[in-house]
Amino acid sequence: MLRLGRREFAPHERVIMAIVNRTPDSFYDQGATFRDEPALTRVEQAVAEGAAIIDIGGVKAGPGEEVSAEEEARRTVGFVAEVRRRFPDVVISVDTWRHEVGEAVCAAGADVLNDAWGGVDPRLAEVAARYGAGLVCTHTGGSQPRTRPHRVAYDDVMADILDVTVGLAERAVSLGVARESVMIDPGHDFGKNTRHSLEATRRLGEMVDTGWPVLVSLSNKDFVGETLDRPVKERVVGTLATTAVSAWLGAQVYRVHEVAETRQVLDMVSAIAGEREPAVARRGLA
């Protein structure tokens, strides 16, 4: 059972984490949800379309203008508090690698710290433990925040992913984070080239077999774009294909931009797997 905030998710329940960027320079929407009202509208729409988790980020993942911890907190803390007020039952996640920001957003009502840079600040897990928050443990191949991979190599990329993410998860539990609130993430694109990310997807079952809930962040990423030779706005089909494969292999949480489309893909996979009844079943029965 995965427990995040007020919610519990059964082992075969496929969960959507909707991305809400509080940045003016997001690679995907170029700041469409930087201001409060568009961002709150995005939250409302995502929840209506089937997202159980809202992931709020104050710094874009890629290189760009430097954002201090103070500025990151300014972009996220008040917004977390307002989302908590308007949507008391939604799970609120914050994408940050800084313990100072983690402390502030947890105090404002965040339920999960999405450590997308793989424990680069070891104190972030301590914050999650102190506030009873969940934690995402991500593989980045040792990359520093907001850097791109350059000629990175692994003897066995999945072996490295397992070693790092399971190690981070076990450390978090040893610090006091609830075991049922820890997720592991292979970190597609982070510290990886396209072939590494494809292999991580192909072998995702090895992560699932560890027993830790697996989160995948696939949405419109560069490995999809390079595989199909498509720009950012034309990567939805490739993303959804990768989502279906990941779902079949057992990933549980999906960090996405396109919530409604992802919900349909996950529901279809669940039905094929025999874990969900069809919404309507009339064919051949009338």
Cβ partners under 8 Å of residue 117, min gap 6: 97, 138, 140, 143, 144, 145, 190
Element (H, E) at 173: helix 157-175
In angstroms, the CA 258 to CA 239 distance is 10
**Annotated catalytic residue within 14, 60, 192, 255:** 255
Q: Which helix (H) or strand (E) holds 99?
A: helix 99-108
Give the single-character DSSP code of 18: E
Angle separating helix axes 157-175 and 123-131, nearest 10 degrees: 50
Say whether 221 is catalytic.
yes
255 a catalytic residue: yes
Strands 253-256 vs 15-21: parallel, antiparallel or unpaired: parallel
Q: Are strands 7-9 and 2-4 parallel, antiparallel or unpaired?
A: antiparallel
Active-site choice (221, 233, 263, 276): 221
Classify residue 76 by burial, with Cβ atoms within 10 Å: 0-12, 13-18, 19+.
Answer: buried
Q: Mind telling me the catalytic residues?
A: 221, 255
